[in-house]
Copies of this chain bind each other. A is one copy, B any other.
């Protein structure tokens, strides 16, 4: 935790809380759950991507298990979603913004941590993306949905852009707070544009979309 500048740390913590809240809220709307399911899925959404990254680079116990604020914020997000799920839809705008901040920060920190642990460019890009999208993917599997990151939306691609800017900056010896914030801003902008304009990642040329056949 000590190596992350305070601003990035604040974004990371805000993102963790947002992922916990949004992850639990998404779960509670998708299927019938009890308190274990709602809080558990919020925590998995918030912590899952970073835990997978840390297991794969060999940093165990995972950072979020050692730094209690992450753990506490993830649990708090899940518990708030349990208690106030009825009112959360009114906050969909701010939650989407916070979620995009989380995605961006997670991708940047994930990619730079993978590089710091000696991984190459390809795996570091992958682990940046996994840090951002891994938790939500686990939640979707657990509630029986095909993860939306595999099907539609611009979600993994902005994370990949953030990871690529991060990796390029590290490789060029230019990685610093401004570079990290540039990567965060790029991911955040693409993600929010995607939400606003309802953009999707490209589909394979085959099989054709069912709608196109009509």
Contacts and interface: CB of A to CB of B under 8 A. Distances in A.
B60 A56 contact: yes
Contacts of A189: none
B142 A142 contact: no
Contacts of A72: 122
A36 B85 contact: no
B33 A204 contact: yes
A2 B38 CA distance: 38
Interface centre among A37, A81, A152 (most CB of B within 10 A): A37
A-side interface mostly: helix
Given A28-B204, A86-B205, A75 B122 contact: yes
Nearest to A123: B65
A207 interface: yes
Interface of A: 28-29, 31-38, 40-41, 43, 51, 55-58, 60-62, 65-66, 68, 71-72, 75, 81-83, 85-86, 117-120, 122-123, 126, 137, 141-147, 149-152, 155-157, 200-207, 209-210
A153 to B, nearest CB: 8
Interface centre among A32, A62, A83 (most CB of B within 10 A): A32
A54 to B, nearest CB: 9
Contacts of A28: 204, 206-207
A34 B205 contact: no
B143 A207 contact: no
15 contacts: A29-B207, A32-B151, A33-B204, A34-B202, A35-B202, A36-B201, A41-B150, A43-B126, A65-B119, A65-B123, A71-B123, A86-B206, A142-B150, A144-B145, A144-B146
